[in-house]
Amino acid sequence: MINLKKEISQKIAEAINIDYIEIEKGIETPREKNMGDFAFPCFRLAKTLKKAPQIIANEIKEKLDLRSSVIEKAEVVNRISKFLYKKRRTNKNSNRRI
């Protein structure tokens, strides 16, 4: 089984050149489903990277490699958070997403 938090944190770490273990600790599950499957509050990195959280979030979004990734879509929300959506398999016999 795929560890989605680990996969996502590794992709974020590649994008901003940070150890993925530190990123993995900060990945959250949003309370509302319409906010995505996972979130990463970028304020955690502001001190380390000496940048504003919104700048960090935008850099992650721009540099994130979505090819062969569990991430389908990335958005910056509320200026300080990075929301990541996992890819979902669809059943060809129905319109319902799994």
CATH topology of domain 4-86: Gyrase A; domain 2 (3.30.1360)
Instruction: Reply yes or no on whether the pLDDT at 88 is more than 80.
Output: no
Q: Which amino acid is at 37?
A: D
> Mean of the pLDDT values across residues 4-24?
91
Q: Of 97, 92, 96, nearest to 37 (Cα)?
A: 97
pLDDT at residue 64 greater than cutoff 50: yes
Give residue 89's pLDDT.
53
pLDDT above 90: percentage of residues in the chain:
33
Taking the domains of the chain in order of start, what are their residue ranges? 4-86
| Cα–Cα dist 49/94, whole Å | 45
Q: Considering the entire predicted model, what is its pTM? A: 0.76
pLDDT band with cut points at 50, 70 and 90 for residue 80: very low
For residue 69, which of 23, 2, 18, 16 has the smallest C-alpha distance? Answer: 2
